[in-house]
C-alpha cells in the first residue's frame, strides 16, 4: 500500500498500516465498507467482488484492532461469517498488543433467523444483539451472550457492559444507516472500488432512518494501485 495523502508515495508496511488505523483512545465506532465507483454496496448480492487482496488484508487489520465486530443479520446471511474473523498472524499481533486472541463477533438480529454454526464456529464467544422482546432459542442463548438493544445507542451500551469499547461495524447498509442516522459513527473507512456496477444495488447506507447530512474530515488516502482506501473521522 502507498499513502497518497497526507505524505505522498510513502510505502506502508503492516506497522505503518496499523499506525494509520489505530485503536481509539476512548470507545470508538468505526464503519468499514466497500463501494463501487457508482455507489453500489454489492455485486451480485455480495460485497466480495468489489474488494481486492489489499482490501481483505486491511479488513483483517481493522478486525485485529477491534474488541468486537458488529454485523447485521442480513450480511451474516449473505456472506457467511463462519469460523475465525482473523488468521493466526493477526492473532499473534493481538497477543503482542495484550489483546484477547480474537475479536468477538456481535450479530444484530430481530428475527434470529441465523445459522447456529455461525455462533458455534466463532473462536471467541459471540454476542447476539436483539430487541427486548425477542425470544432467543435456547441453543442460541447457550452459544452466545445476548445483548438487548433496539437502537444503536442501546447496542453500544450493551457491548460496553461486556467491556467491548472498540467497535468495528462491517454493515450491512441497513445497520450502517441506523448508526449514521444516530450520529454514532466516529470513523468511516471506505474502500472505493474501480468498478461501475450499474443501477440497482443498495448504497453503503440504506433504510428508513432520516438524518441531517453530516460532514466528516479526511484522515488519509491510500492505494494499492487499483482501489482507494479512504479514512474519514468525526471532525
Binding stretches for ligand NAP (CB under 6 A)? 33-34, 41-42, 45-47, 72-75, 78-79, 108-111, 113, 130-131, 150, 170-175, 178, 204, 206
Closest separation in Å from C-beta 92 to ligand NAP: 27
Give the residue with the Cβ less far from ligand NAP, 65 or 75.
75
Computed on alpha carbons and rounded to an integer, the radius of gyration of the chain in Å comes to 17
> How many Å is the maximal CA-CA distance in the chain?
54
Give the residue with the Cβ less far from ligand NAP, 90 or 118.
118
Q: Is the peptide bond before 127 cis (omega within 30 degrees of 0)?
A: no
Closest separation in Å from C-beta 69 to ligand NAP: 11
CB of 105 within 8 A of CB of 71? Answer: yes
Give the residue with the Cβ less far from ligand NAP, 93 or 152.
152
Phi-psi label, residue 213: left if phi above 0, alpha if psi -120 to 50, beta otherwise: beta
Give the residue with the Cβ less far from ligand NAP, 16 or 45.
45
Closest separation in Å from C-beta 167 to ligand NAP: 15
Alpha carbon distance 34, 20 (integer Å): 18
CB of 31 within 8 A of CB of 205? Answer: no
Closest separation in Å from C-beta 47 to ligand NAP: 4
Amino acid at each position: 500500500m502507498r499513502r497518497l495523502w497526507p505524505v505522498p508515495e510513502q510505502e506502508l508496511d503492516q506497522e505503518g498500516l496499523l499506525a494509520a488505523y489505530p485503536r481509539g483512545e476512548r470507545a470508538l465506532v468505526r464503519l468499514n465498507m466497500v463501494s463501487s465507483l457508482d455507489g453500489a454496496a454489492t455485486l451480485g448480492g455480495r460485497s466480495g467482488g468489489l474488494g481486492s487482496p489489499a482490501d481483505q488484508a486491511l479488513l483483517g487489520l481493522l478486525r485485529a484492532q477491534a474488541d468486537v465486530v458488529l454485523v447485521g443479520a442480513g450480511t451474516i446471511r449473505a456472506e457467511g461469517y463462519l469460523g475465525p474473523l482473523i488468521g493466526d498472524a493477526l492473532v499473534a499481533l493481538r497477543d503482542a498488543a495484550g489483546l484477547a486472541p480474537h475479536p468477538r463477533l456481535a450479530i444484530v438480529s430481530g428475527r434470529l433467523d441465523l445459522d447456529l454454526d455461525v455462533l458455534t464456529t466463532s473462536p471467541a464467544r459471540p454476542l447476539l444483539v436483539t430487541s427486548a422482546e425477542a425470544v432467543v432459542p435456547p441453543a442460541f442463548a447457550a452459544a452466545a451472550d445476548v445483548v438487548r438493544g433496539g437502537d444503536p445507542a442501546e447496542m453500544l451500551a450493551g457491548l460496553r457492559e461486556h467491556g467491548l469499547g472498540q467497535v468495528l461495524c462491517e454493515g450491512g447498509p441497513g445497520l450502517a444507516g441506523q448508526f449514521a442516522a444516530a450520529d454514532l459513527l466516529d470513523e468511516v473507512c471506505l474502500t472505493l472500488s474501480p468498478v461501475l456496477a450499474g443501477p440497482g444495488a443498495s448504497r453503503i447506507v440504506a433504510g428508513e432512518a432520516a438524518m441531517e447530512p453530516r460532514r466528516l474530515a479526511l484522515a488519509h488516502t491510500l492505494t494499492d494501485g487499483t482501489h482507494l482506501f479512504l479514512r474519514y473521522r468525526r471532525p
